[in-house]
Amino acid sequence: MTEFENNDERTELKQLGEFGLIDLLTKNIKLKNKSSIKGVGDDSAVIHHANKQTLVTKDLLVEGVHFDMTYMPLKHLGYKAAVVNISDILAMNGTPTQLIVGIAVSNRFSGEALEEIYEGIKLACEHYHVDLVGGDTVSSVSGLILSITAIGEADKADIIYRDGAKNGDLIFVSGNLGAAYMGLLVLEREKKAFEVDPNMQPDLDGNDYILERQLKPEARTDVLELLKKAGVKPTAMIDISDGLASEILHICQQSDLGCVLYEDKIPIDITTDGVAKEFQIDPTTCALNGGEDYELLFTINQSDYEKLKSIDEISVVGHMTEKSAGYHLVSRSGTQVPLIAQGWDAFLNKEKRNRQ
């Protein structure tokens, strides 16, 4: 576990200067989307979406808050930073088209280290057919900060908001939940062991799946394609960045409704289940409150259920109710308990978050 991957050479940022660094990070970038008129190299990017609606989202990733350089490979960090923004565009049923990247960095990092971050960002752009069209680099005295803006497009009729759910709609999720959080706990455990004995080798065997879900998440473009192929447009949708409980409550609040989730319907991978029990944590708690899964949570009209019931990549986990019925989880034993969001909150202190 080292902070940076080993390099034969280290180029100090003061050797490059701001413009030299920009040239280093953005060389060989080629635009692929017709809507990308002008990318890196001018005062602003130029984007043309004709008659489509333009979607814009931004996420900040801050060292020590959102990621730990002890175990986060730089290339993975760049990839993840891009994906979490791309996922927000997909959650609106849009097509991501451009990315703008801002980096605040100290001289603790070399030019090669920042190249690694950009390699991850560019890899994500290639995978999701997104153009990197601009950004900014500044100095920082408080660690590494990544600020990424994603831009996308959609026909007005295709956009899906959080406020469209109706009473009786079914609640679906893609993939499985809680894996990213368990990957984080494994990494934190090995970090503590490393701090005690820097000569130790991390014990990560058998945890490849949950580690990948934490370090290299993927946005679910395939789910949107499956829904389109089935002829189903969700009534509301959101991506799961802060945990299932938090996200369904966002839909409830925006749609002015209540909900019921069923514990035995929540999809949890076998590895997630096993590692959660090793940590003496209820796997359902990980799925409800862990976050960073970047799966899609959406509601559909009950009449569309037959079109989706045989699709393996999605699961029905509950239904929407009248607001007066409240927000509840039905346990495996049949007990109904209040549903409370205990996932990520950017303004809770770290000690309080760790107790949740």
Paired strand residues for 53: 154
| CB of 293 closer than 8 Å to CB of 175 | yes
| Centroid of chain to Cα 329 | 24
DSSP 346: T
Q: Residue 164 domain-assigned? A: no
The verdict on 178 and 270 lying in the same domain is yes
Q: In this predicted model, what pLDDT tens digit does every residue of 230-287 receive, in sequence order? A: 999 999 999 999 999 999 999 999 999 999 999 999 999 999 999 999 999 999 999 9
Total domain count, the chain: 2
Q: Kindly state whether residues 178 and 138 are assigned to the same domain.
A: no
Q: Are 69 and 63 in contact (CB under 8 A)?
A: yes
**In whole angstroms, what separates CA 145 from the centre of its chain?**
17
pLDDT digits 0-9 by tens, 124-151: 999 999 999 888 888 888 789 999 999 9
In this prediction, residue 308 carries a pLDDT of 96
In this structure, the answer to whether residues 124 and 200 fall within a common structural domain is no
What confidence tens digit (pLDDT) does each residue in 199-214 have? 888 888 899 999 999 9
Which of these three, 102, 134, 158, is where a domain ends? 158
139 and 207 in a common domain: no
Q: Do residues 268 and 131 share a domain?
A: no
Q: What pLDDT shows up at residue 37?
A: 62
Question: What's the mean pLDDT in 40-57?
Answer: 69
Mean pLDDT of the chain: 87
CATH of the domain at 87: 3.30.1330.10
Residue 79: give the domain boundaries: 13-158
Q: Among the three residues 158, 193, 214, which one is the final residue of a domain in this structure?
A: 158
- Does residue 284 belong to any structural domain of this protein? yes
Query: Could you tell me if residue 332 is inside a domain?
Result: yes
Q: Which of 78, 79, 149 is nearest to 114 (CA)?
A: 78
CA-to-CA distance for 89 and 93, rounded, in angstroms? 7
In a shared domain, residues 267 and 120 = no
Is the domain of 126 the same as that of 200? no
In the structure, what pLDDT confidence band is assigned to residue 3 with cuts at 50, 70 and 90?
A: very low
